[in-house]
Structure 1
Amino acid sequence: MAIRRSTNSVWGENMKKILGIFMLIAGIVIAVTASSASFAYFEADREIHLAIVPDDNELIDLVPLQPYAYINSNGMLVIDLSSANGNWEEGLGEGVSPDSIYVFEHVFGVSNHLWENVTICMNIEYSGSGAISFFEGEYTNETVGVDTLHVTILPGETAEIGMIIDSEGLDDGDALSGTLNFDAKLGECPVVG
């Protein structure tokens, strides 16, 4: 007795095998395509809130400590030893005299109110007449003013900055002016000398 197989069942089994192979190939193609894709784009909108405040309310404050320094209408620290200073009153001095040296302690302060509770190195650089220089803290006869001052300020502390004015060689009616640049960096200032 001979067993005869139906060609339909052989054809069905072969079709199943071929279909299985195609599905396996399609799965591999999808897996390879998905794994070789690289990120191309992301977009999101987020809020940022910044308050623009006067120098004496910043995270790193510039605070007037003497009437010779004040915060102007633009919110910026100004040092002004003239009758143009808003703190000047009739009958008070209007400037410095020629061929003199004036020392003013604690003219303004630089405070560290950063939220991270970190120490900063504040570089204070003066550009202008060589007759004006700055120092930190109390003046002693050995204190030397400089036009570039490096001050370490601990969290929550205020460095008090004074200034020396040397009007040697200047005449009545001359004026001195310049600009202070403040640049803070994270960490203590390097020790010089």
Structure 2
Amino acid sequence: MNRRRLLAGLGAVATSGVALGTGAFTSAEADRSVGVTVADDDQAYLALSPTQAANATFVNQDSGANNELSIDINDATGTADNGDGVGPNSVYEFDEVFRIENQGTQEIEVSISELVDDDFDPTASGLTVQFYPGTDVDSPLHDDPITLGTGTAQVIGLRIETGEPTVENFNADATVRAEAT
């Protein structure tokens, strides 16, 4: 009789475990399709494009692959007396150079990295490049991100401070970051 009770008890426990299962699993694998479109810079969810302001002359939007935006503060074109670049031991501010637009589906915070000596060349002695919203040079975007709602845009300026550089040309990549708020 004890044996029958034991078997009946084990059967009841096993049945209730199956009926009240937790749904937990150790691993699972499922194939799903994912579609991603890589859009040109000016058509992406975080769109980058030149402004209509005078300083947009320093912006290039590559008409080739990806329509990527770049800034070149060399040989200003479209003026009678073209300059060749920034001077040593000086500060230059270029308001409203390019535009960032949130073409995504949620509000974002946008920041842009500051560029310093080592980003260009270790011998760039004192060179810094900062990005700022519109004409607000006192709010660099690496310290104070801007918030963009869906469908809104902000023009961006550029501040360059030169020290006593020992090389003439500097190139570096700035990183634009956008995070949902």
Q: Deviation at 1:27?
A: 6.2
Residues paired across the two proteins, number? 159
> Is 125-134 or 57-66 further displaced after alignment?
125-134
Q: Deviation at 1:119?
A: 2.1
In the alignment, is the contact (CA less than 8 A) between 2:100 and 2:153 conserved in 1? yes
Q: Distance in 2 between matches of 1:166 and 1:33?
A: 71
Q: Distance in 1 between matches of 2:32 and 2:21?
A: 30
Structure 1's 167 and 36: CA in aligned 2 closer, same or farther, altered over 3 A? Answer: closer
- Tell me the equivalent position of 1:151: 146
| 1:22-171 mapped onto 2 (5 Å cutoff) | 28=12, 31-32=15-16, 34=18, 35=20, 38-65=24-51, 66-72=56-62, 73-75=64-66, 76-82=68-74, 93=82, 95-99=84-88, 100-115=90-105, 118-129=106-117, 130-138=127-135, 143-144=137-138, 146=140, 148-149=142-143, 150-167=145-162, 169-170=164-165
- Tell me the equivalent position of 1:6: none
Q: Deviation at 1:64?
A: 2.3
CA deviation string 1:81-140 (max 9, x = no partner): 235x9xx5797735324245432211111111112xx3211121122343422221125x
Report the aligned-residue RMSD.
Answer: 3.7
Q: Secondary structure at the match of 1:185?
A: strand
> Which protein is bigger by CA-based radius of gyration?
1
Q: Secondary structure at the match of 2:84?
A: coil
Structure 1's 97 and 70: CA in aligned 2 closer, same or farther, altered over 3 A? Answer: closer
TM-score (normalised: structure 2): 0.66
TM-score (normalised: structure 1): 0.63
1:184 and 2:178 correspond: yes
Structure 1's 78 and 30: CA in aligned 2 closer, same or farther, altered over 3 A? Answer: same
Q: Distance in 2 between matches of 1:161 and 1:179?
A: 16
Q: Secondary structure at the match of 1:148?
A: coil
CA deviation string 1:46-103 (max 9, x = no partner): 22111012222111112222131223344332111235x9xx5797735324245432
Structure 1's 52 and 94: CA in aligned 2 closer, same or farther, altered over 3 A? Answer: farther
Mark the runs of 5 or more structure 1 residues left unpaired by the alignment: 1-20, 188-193
Q: Secondary structure at the match of 2:135?
A: coil
1:174 and 2:168 correspond: yes
> Is 92-101 or 148-157 further displaced after alignment?
92-101
Structure 2 residue identity aligned to 1:82: N
